[in-house]
Chains A and B, each alone.
Chain A
Amino acid sequence: DQQVKQNSPSLSVQEGRISILNCDYTNSMFDYFLWYKKYPAEGPTFLISISSIKDKNEDGRFTVFLNKSAKHLSLHIVPSQPGDSAVYFCAASSNDNYGQNFVFGPGTRLSVLP
Chain B
Amino acid sequence: DTEVTQTPKHLVMGMTNKKSLKCEQHMGHRAMYWYKQKAKKPPELMFVYSYEKLSINESVPSRFSPECPNSSLLNLHLHALQPEDSALYLCASSTLTGLSSYEQYFGPGTRLTVT
Q: Which residues of A contact B (CB under 8 A)?
A: 4, 32, 34, 36, 41-46, 49, 51, 89, 93, 97-102, 104-107
Contact = CB atoms under 8 A, between A and B. Distances in A.
A104 B48 contact: no
Contacts of B106: 36, 43-45
Interface string B91-102: 110101001011
- A interface: dominant SS: mixed
A101 B31 contact: no
Given A41-B108, A49-B103, A51-B99, A97 B48 contact: yes
Contacts of A32: 99, 102
A101 to B, nearest CB: 6
A43 B42 contact: no
B34 interface: no
Majority secondary structure of chain B interface residues (helix, strand, loop or mixed): strand
Nearest to B97: A98
Most interface-central of B45, B101, B104 (chain A CB within 10 A): B104
A4 B45 CA distance: 14
Given A43-B107, A89-B42, A100 B90 contact: no
A93 B104 CA distance: 12
Interface residues of B, number: 29
Contacts of B21: none
Interface of B: 4, 6, 31, 33, 40-45, 48, 50, 55-56, 90-92, 94, 96, 99, 101-109
A46 B104 contact: yes
A22 to B, nearest CB: 15
Given A89-B43, A100-B56, 11 more contacts: A32-B102, A43-B90, A43-B92, A43-B106, A45-B106, A97-B56, A98-B96, A100-B31, A104-B42, A104-B44, A107-B40
